[in-house]
Amino acid sequence: MILNISGRTDIVAFYTEWLMNRLDEGYIDVRNPFNPKMVSRIMFDDVDLLFFCTKNPIPILDKLKDIKKKVYFHITLTGYKKDIEPGLPPKKDIIKAIKKLSSIVGKDNVVVRYDPLLINDIYTIDYHIKAFKKICELLDGFISKILISFIDDYKNVRNNYHILKNRNLSKDDYKRIGLSFSESAKNHHMVVHTCAENRNLAEYGFVIDECMSKELAYKLTGKKYKKWQARKNVPCKCIEMVDIGAYNTCKHYCRYCYANYDEKKVKENMSLHNPKSSLLIGELKESDTIKIRKTR
């Protein structure tokens, strides 16, 4: 089993203490977001890999020595400022943390995500070209792969259109991004790729690769996994993982986020967090049905 930590929230940034407590206890409970009375219990003995997705790896750096499982990291790092990503620490601190993380787990186990890429009057094509080039310069020798994606039409994106003011990209926009990003990555010993994008930029040298492909999963764990069945209607060929997060629980408040769409609910949920609970948010109830989740 591979745990996704997490596509629903930033566990590393805000809940590392809780995660370390769960690792010590040997199991974790995850409430089904679509059927809240159903709880999956995951025994860490059944876990082969911890796949961390975060925008701020700082809280976990000094804890990695205590994690006995194999780890793999995706770190989102963009050129946006506080108007788009209001809750993030300074980017220079994140870059410093990525370098330290790379020295601990190895550069092949750290992927940077320039994600998502949106265009408006402030964040122009030229702005992104400059920001991406700078990231590649600063992280030369510390990562070998960088992933980009384009902004999607999520509910939260529509709600924040008055801030984002994103526009559709033209054929020429894609060409300029593709050529410039490919050149910057190549000049700094990196591969740039896309996953499940309608415009994958392969004609400009981008590699088309899943975030967690069957080949990568086998390389990391020595085991074979099925494709993510829940994503059968989207062009994603990632293997199946188990997300242990919860929606509306992240204080980054990124304006483009699909997992946060109610800031009032975020504050309410985070007030219910107990680092000693088996659940990320709240406590188990007598009415809950708990089922042990087994590796398929």
294 domain-assigned: no
291 domain-assigned: no
Q: How many domains does the chain have?
A: 1
293 domain-assigned: no
295 domain-assigned: no
Give the pLDDT score at 233: 59
48 domain-assigned: yes
296 domain-assigned: no
CATH number of the domain encompassing residue 110: 3.80.30
Q: Domain of residue 59: give its range.
A: 2-286
Q: Which amino acid is at 78?
A: T
Q: Which residues of the chain have pLDDT under 70?
A: 228-235, 295-296
Q: 35-43 and 27-32: which strand pairing? A: antiparallel
The residue assigned the tokens 């992240």 is 250
292 domain-assigned: no
Crossing angle (nearest 10°) for helices 125-138 and 171-187: 10
Give the pLDDT score at 105: 97
278 domain-assigned: yes
Give the pLDDT score at 14: 98
